[in-house]
């Protein structure tokens, strides 16, 4: 006698590394009825219960490096008779969501150009303060400014090519993540010259302005910012898609042009700066 297998649906949608229970039922009920299930690289299964006419499976999706389609074939055997049912699973690639958002934010940032412009603005501000307080001469300031303008800015072309390869399925999440981290490291190396010069200027200011000694390019897809300051926990924190600087670095909010949600006023007249001041203007 011909018999068939049934389930409530033949296709399922799963987030990666999630699980679901499903039941497959036979049109024949017999204590000799046997079930077998095929294997698939992207989902695993466990037999939870089995009766004379049904089997309950716990299906768990694996971690995937892009959206995947998995298939399990449930076969029922009764003597010489066999029938099967194919189950399909669409698995969403959720683990790469944040990575892809950060990569695309970096790609659309013009190679981090704005981040380096911010860094130059901050360094120039410290230079002005050192000059106005007579800690450095005009020629020293001009020399350092020339060194800042000569600092190279990394092109983002390579990570853009890597992302295109990722979209084509040629590289995995892990490979894209490693390439992305490598790109960030190149940005930090390119910025090292700025920070070395800034450190020297800060030494001349003798604590008159808050010390800036932590740098790492931050890519924040929520704030849509690529910056050495915005998104860096050394300088502040994010609240409801707004960036709030720590009190000692609040002057950066007025100095930098693209601070999300910042409502500060312009900096005080730099001519009022005093080398004996213990805080930023």
Q: Which helix (H) or strand (E) holds 25?
A: strand 19-26
Would you state the pLDDT for residue 84?
A: 92
Judged against a pLDDT cut of 50, whether residue 266 lies above it is answered with no
pLDDT in tens, 54-94: 999 999 999 887 788 999 999 999 888 889 999 999 998 88
- State the sign of the Cα–Cα–Cα–Cα dihedral 121, 122, 127, 129: positive
Threshold 0.75, pTM exceeds: no
The position carrying tokens 């400014």 is 145
Judged against a pLDDT cut of 60, whether residue 167 lies above it is answered with yes
Judged against a pLDDT cut of 70, whether residue 278 lies above it is answered with no
How far apart are the C-alpha atoms of 139 and 120, rounded to whole Å? Answer: 18
How confident is residue 207, by pLDDT bands cut at 50, 70 and 90?
low
User: Mean pLDDT score of the chain, rounded to an integer?
Assistant: 80
Q: Is 207 helix (H, G, I), strand (E, B) or coil?
A: coil
Would you state the pLDDT for residue 70?
A: 94
pLDDT in tens, 89-100: 999 888 788 889
Would you state the pLDDT for residue 148?
A: 63
Distance of CA 26 to the CA centre of its chain: 47
Residue 222 tokens, joined = 């929520």
């Amino acid at each position: 006698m011909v018999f068939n297998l049934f389930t409530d649906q033949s296709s399922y949608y799963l987030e990666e590394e999630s699980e679901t229970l499903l039941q497959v039922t036979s049109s024949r009920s017999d204590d000799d009825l046997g079930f077998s299930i095929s294997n698939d690289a992207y989902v695993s299964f466990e037999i939870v219960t089995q009766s004379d006419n049904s089997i309950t499976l716990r299906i768990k999706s694996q971690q995937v490096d892009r959206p995947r389609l998995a298939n399990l074939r449930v076969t029922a055997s009764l003597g010489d008779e066999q029938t099967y049912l194919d189950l399909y699973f669409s698995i969403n690639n959720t683990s790469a969501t944040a990575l892809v958002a950060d990569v695309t934010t970096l790609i659309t940032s013009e190679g981090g150009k704005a981040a380096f412009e911010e860094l130059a603005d901050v360094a120039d501000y410290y230079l002005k303060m050192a000059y106005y307080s007579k800690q450095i001469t005009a020629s020293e300031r001009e020399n350092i400014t020339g060194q800042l303008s000569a600092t190279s800015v990394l092109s983002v072309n390579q990570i853009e090519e890597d992302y295109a390869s990722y979209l084509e399925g040629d590289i995995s999440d892990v490979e894209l993540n490693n390439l992305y981290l490598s790109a960030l490291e190149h940005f930090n190396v390119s910025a090292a010259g700025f920070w070395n010069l800034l450190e020297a200027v800060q030494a001349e200011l003798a604590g008159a302005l808050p010390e800036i000694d932590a740098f790492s390019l931050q890519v924040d897809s929520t704030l849509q910012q690529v910056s050495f300051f915005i998104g860096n926990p050394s300088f502040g924190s994010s609240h409801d898609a707004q960036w709030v600087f720590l009190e000692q670095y609040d002057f950066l909010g007025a100095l930098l042009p693209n601070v999300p949600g910042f409502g500060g006023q312009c900096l005080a007249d730099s001519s009022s700066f005093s080398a004996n001041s213990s805080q930023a203007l």
